[in-house]
Every structure is written in structure tokens, then in C-alpha cells.
Structure 1
Amino acid sequence: MLTETLKKLFNRDLTRLKSEIEAYQNEANLWRVDRGIANSAGNLCLHLIGNLNTYIGATLGGTGYIRNRELEFSLKDIPKQELIKMIEETTAIVRETLDQISNEQMNSEYPLFVFEEKTSTEFFLVHLTTHLTYHLGQINYHRRLLDGGV
């Protein structure tokens, strides 16, 4: 039951992420930082892609993805269409992985030690949805502030 809810939330918010990136009218603004904004929308997008591919795709789905977190915040000027493609691929990986998760796995300990204490897979996946939503809000604000529009 929770797995179905998580699939809907991840799909909803990754679809919104794609829409936010598509909504940038000036592609250069994806990489702009200004007015005390520390991270560009492009870098936050890369961070979300890296995060979900690591903690869902690689850890739970066995995709073999290897994360380079430093690059998520240092790469610049990746074309908008490439970011969109990466979001679409991540959406598919999240969906396919969650389709394979059993209730037993959800209730068991998450395979990686990420926080100060061990957590269940269920807890960690809920955390990942809130992490996605948090950065999605930052991207929306970044776009409206630095690129204009609604």
C-alpha cells in the first residue's frame, strides 16, 4: 500500500521537476546564481537525479549507477534537453525499482547507513520523497525569481 503511494508521489514530483526545467524560457538561467541563492536549478536537478539513482536505483534496484556528488554541484551548462532526458530516465528507474520492492523489503533495514542511526527502507523512501519536494520548491522559486514567469 505505501509502495503504491510512493510511486504516485515520485511520479508526480518528477513530472513536476521536468515541467519546471522545461518552463525556463532562458536556458542560461538554469545555471544562474544570484541574490544569495547558492545553487542553480540545474545543479539542484542534477543533485536530485544523483540522489534518486543512488538510493533507489543502485541501492535497491541494482542498476550499477555510480554517484559523483561533487559534480552534481559543480557541472554547468548541461543543455536543458539533456536534463529532461535524465529526469525521464530517473523516473523510469524509480518506477521499475519500486515495482520490485516487496513488503518485507519495505519493513527491513535500508541497506546503506545514511543517517546517524539505522532506518527502515520504508522510512528512507519517505525521506527521499520529502527531499525531492524540498528541492523542487527551491527550483520553482529559482525559476520565478531569476527567469521570470509564473
Structure 2
Amino acid sequence: MLIPTLKTLFLRDLNRLKQEMSLYKNEAVIWHTEQQIPNSAGNLCLHLVGNLNTYIGAELGKTGYIRYRDLEFSLKDIPRAELIEKVEATIPVVMNALDRVREEQLDDEYPQLVFEAKTSTGYMLVHLASHLAYHLGQINYHRRLLDH
């Protein structure tokens, strides 16, 4: 029951991420930071792609993805079209990996220690969905505040 719900939420929010990136009137603003806004929308987008490809794609889907987390926050000025392509490529990775997860696995320990304490696979997947939604909201506000 939880897996179809998670698939729906990830698909919805990854499509919203593409939409948010598309809605910037001035593409350069995607990379702006200002005062108390330390992360640009572009870096948050890269972070979300890296996060999902790591914790869902590589760990549960066995894709072989290798993450370079530091680059998610240090790369700049990647064209919007390339960011959107990265999001589009992440959608089937997430969907295919979730297709491999059986409901009974949700109570199993997530294979990687991510937080201070071990968690279940179900907990980790819910965390990843809420993490995506959290940063998606930040990107939305970033766009509305800085893209005049």
C-alpha cells in the first residue's frame, strides 16, 4: 500500500521540480543566492537528483550510481535544460527501484546507515519523499522571491 503512494508522490514532486525550474523567467537567477538564502535553486535541484539516485537508485535499484555530494553544492551555471534532463532521468530510476521493493521489505533495516541510528526502509523512503517536498518548497520560494 505504501509503495504505490510513494511512487505517486515522487512522480508528482519530480514533475513539479521540472516545472519550477521551467518557470524561472531569467535562467541566471536559478543560480543566485542572497543574504539568508545560502543555496541556489540549481544547487538544490542537483542535490535532490543526487540524493534520490543514491538512496533509491543505487541502494534499492542497484543502478551503480556514484554520488559526488560536494559537487551538488559547488557546481554553478549548469543550463536549465540540463538540470531538467537530470530530473527527467531520475524519474524512471526512482520508479524502477520502487518497483523492485516489496511491501514486506519496508519493515527491514535500510541497508545503509544514513542517520545517527539505523532506520527501516519504509522510514527512509518516507524521509526521502519529505526531503524532496521540503527542498521543492524552498525552490518555489527562491523563484518567487528572486526571479523578478
Q: Give the TM-score normalised by the residue count of structure 1.
A: 0.97
What does residue 143 of structure 1 align with?
143
Superposition misfits of 4+ residues, deviation over 3 angstroms: none
Q: How many residues were matched structurally?
A: 148
Per the alignment, in what secondary structure is the counterpart of residue 116 of structure 2?
Answer: coil
1:11 maps to amino acid: L
What does residue 61 of structure 2 align with?
61
What does residue 133 of structure 1 align with?
133
Aligned pairs for 1:71-150 (under 5 A) are 71-148=71-148
CA shift for structure 1 position 12? 0.6
What does residue 15 of structure 1 align with?
15
CA shift for structure 1 position 107? 1.7
Runs of 5+ unmatched residues, structure 1: none
Runs of 5+ unmatched residues, structure 2: none
Q: Over the residues paired in the alignment, what is the CA RMSD in angstroms? A: 0.7
Question: Deviation digits for residues 93-129 of structure 1, max 9, x if unmatched?
Answer: 0011111111232221100011111111000000001
Identity %: 65
- In the aligned structure 1, how far is the partner of 2:145 from the partner of 2:39? 13
Q: Give the TM-score normalised by the residue count of structure 2.
A: 0.98
